[in-house]
Amino acid sequence: MRDAYIEELDSIFDDLAGICRRVEISVSLATEALMTGNAAIAERVISEDIEIDNARERVEETAFNLLLLQQPVAGDLRTVVAALRMVSELERMGDLSVHVAKVARLRVPDVAVPDEIRPTIAQMAAVAEDMVSRVSSVIVGRDVEAAIALGKDDEEMDGLRRQSFAELLSDDWTHGVEAAVDVALLGRYYERIADHAVSIANRIVFVVTGHKPRAVGE
């Protein structure tokens, strides 16, 4: 009986990692749609977000059943509660990818990101995608060191966000208010994806150690 219970706990984390991999694909495709003005790819990101929502519901159902039937305590309870919070953050990361895709779709046949700021936005997207990928490994391995290291990438993202604002406010900006709003929103979306990745990493540290991390960027 106890073995089956442990397997169910482990299966929740396997499912979380699977959702994380879906989110990674969504971030990548949304960025491709953004940088190429490809409406079909943007629509794919938007339509396939339902799969992330459905996967979240399955994790929640498993977690609630464990709470109801097994009444976990101490470390097991900490694990289940953390999983419920992590799956909500993963779903939000998927939603943020959809927001990026919608900006891309809105500007078709044009490309939403002006040439001058493309390198900055592309780097923000690359950092966000890398962080999502690494979160998947952190979840599977419950790797505390890797979780803490993830916070360093969040500092890079914060720097890129400041850089994007500097470019928007520069006297050299000639693309008008509409493009400036798009770029400001896109920067926020990628930044929030990174924030959620760090938050999930924090929760893994808490699950494993029982202590809230201080070294991970909160």
- Fill in the amino acid letter for 29: L
Give me the CATH topology for the region 2-209: Methane Monooxygenase Hydroxylase; Chain G, domain 1 (1.20.58)
> Residue 215's pLDDT is what?
45
> Residue 84's pLDDT is what?
94
> Residue 218's pLDDT is what?
43
List of the chain residues with pLDDT < 50: 215-218
Domain ranges within the chain, ordered by starting residue: 2-209
Q: Which two tokens stand for residue 3?
A: 């073995």
Q: Tens digit of pLDDT for each residue in 22-77?
A: 999 999 999 999 999 999 999 999 999 999 999 999 999 999 988 887 777 777 88
Peptide bond into 119 cis (omega under 30): no
Find where tokens 């989110």 sit. 23
- Answer for the pair 52, 23: CB distance below 8 angstroms, yes or no: yes
> Residue 69's pLDDT is what?
77
